[in-house]
Amino acid sequence: MSAASPSPTTALSLRRLALLLGGLAMFGPFSIDTIFPAFPAMGADLGADKVAMQQTISVYLIAYALTSLLHGPLSDAFGRRKVILGGLGVFTIGSIGCALSPDLGTLLMFRALQGLSAGVGFIVGRAVIRDVLQGDDAQRLMSQVSMIFGIAPAIAPVIGGWILGWSRWPMIFWFLVAFSAVLLVAVWAGLPETHPAESRLPIRPARLVRDYTAILVNPRFQRLAAAAAFNFGALFLYIASAPAFVLDLLHFRGQPLDEGDFGWFFIPMIGGMIIGAWLSGRAAGRISGNRLVAIGFSVSAVAMAFNVGYNLLVDVLEVPWAVIPMSMNAFGIALVFPIITLAILDMYPRQRGSASSLQAFTTLVMNAMLAGVLSPLISGNGLWLALTATAFVAIGWLFWRWEAGASPSLEATGQVTEAERVPGGSL
């Protein structure tokens, strides 16, 4: 970073930076989870059944996935701050369109516009972290951001339920308009540029395709990205299935839950994620990356065994027992995520934005398939959800074991030395 570029560590405290980046990462989950309680009301107003309403999630995720390939390179070329501000502006427009949509087709169009822009906070924010800090400090900040980010899925459906208590479903999208506008002002006033002009790389389509191809065919990237995607996929399957899981399957003292009870599912789940993220930050520099990831996968494995066993033994899923496995799994994922993400970013020090984009793309494509194809097929059966989530954790663990055997010198922060960097790791 040149002397002309303000150092984020001097222009902004790391705690404030964590709050700002955590807020930026939150507006993506807010776009998904806040509308879950409104699915029945939206379907009734728009003449859409449950399967059609599920497409409001899959359309959003597909658009998110496609443009995730551009957010990182754009930030590598024009700077992190400009890309984040532009994305927030587009997201605000998309949210206004959703609030005013008279039919399902229009709603899906503006949901896609939301998805086109929602990735800037999460994807570019990760590159900001790696611009600012190195080593254990980067892991700590990544964990702090994960803790803040983890709040969103817990409070989003609760906020949606509150809004439905005094207004109609379009007010949920007006809430998203207000939230994104506040973030836009906060970024404008408080986020310095972390990617100096002399380090930027102009966008050339041919080179972009070549760089993405080089990253994608890198066996180490494939192993790390697959481990992260499948590991999180076990949890996202339940998130995508939340309307059916909460409203159709979960009970409390024999009574089914209703639109105001999504907190029974989301709060324990995100509580586990926040505790895991906090522990990951505390472990930085004290526990090796390999060991921390192994602990995370072990916790997720125990959670899945509990989940399958519970679903086999009972006829009616009761809270809190039915949601304890999701809380444990979220805890394990939060231990794994910072290590794998930093390992990927450290493979490509000059193209962190591109590496972050491609990792996000692989996860988002899987999530879009889960939300649009798999979830509608199995979300009405608790045992099928449990078995599928277990398979995802197992596949993620197998990819990680493959990676751990191939790169045994992975440090606690996910860094590898220059001598250990695989060919194609520094483009």
CATH number (domain holding residue 34): 1.20.1250.20
Q: Averaging pLDDT over each range in 58-72, 215-229, 260-274, 293-307, which range is the top one?
A: 293-307
pLDDT above 50 for 54: yes
The reported pLDDT for the residue numbered 245 is 92
The reported pLDDT for the residue numbered 392 is 97
For the chain, the helix, strand and coil percentages under 3-state DSSP, each to the nearest 5: 80, 0, 20
386 or 413, greater pLDDT: 386
What band does 10 get if pLDDT is binned at 50, 70 and 90? very low
Domain of residue 357, residue span: 8-194+202-420
User: What mean pLDDT, rounded, does the chain reach?
Assistant: 83
Section 94-121 average pLDDT: 91
Task: Locate all alpha helices (DSSP H) within 79-169, ordered by sequence.
Answer: 80-99, 104-119, 125-132, 135-166
Four-residue CA torsion sign, 81, 82, 87, 89: positive
Coil, strand or helix: which one is 243?
Answer: helix
Section 41-69 average pLDDT: 83
pLDDT above 80 for 72: no
What band does 386 get if pLDDT is binned at 50, 70 and 90? very high
Residue 159 covered by a domain: yes
What b-and-e string marks burial along 328-344, b requiring 16 or more CB atoms within 10 Å of the CB? Answer: bbbbbbbbbbbbbbbbb
How many domains are contained in the chain?
A: 1
* Consecutive H or E run containing 14: helix 14-33
Residue 3 covered by a domain: no
Residue 243 covered by a domain: yes
The reported pLDDT for the residue numbered 195 is 78
Residue 47 covered by a domain: yes
Q: Averaging pLDDT over each range in 17-21, 34-38, 327-331, which range is the top one?
A: 327-331
pLDDT above 80 for 282: yes
Residue 427 covered by a domain: no
Burial of 325 (0-12, 13-18, 19+ CB in 10 A): buried
Distance CA(157)–CA(77), nearest Å, equals 36
Residue 13 covered by a domain: yes
CA distances from 394 to 221, 222, 228, 366 (A): 19, 16, 12, 16
pLDDT above 60 for 243: yes
Amino acid in position 370:
L
Coil, strand or helix: which one is 191?
Answer: coil
Please work out, in degrees rounded to the nearest 5, the angle formed at the alpha carbon of residue 426 by the alpha carbons of 425 and 427.
110
pTM of the model: 0.71
pLDDT above 50 for 404: yes
Burial of 163 (0-12, 13-18, 19+ CB in 10 A): buried
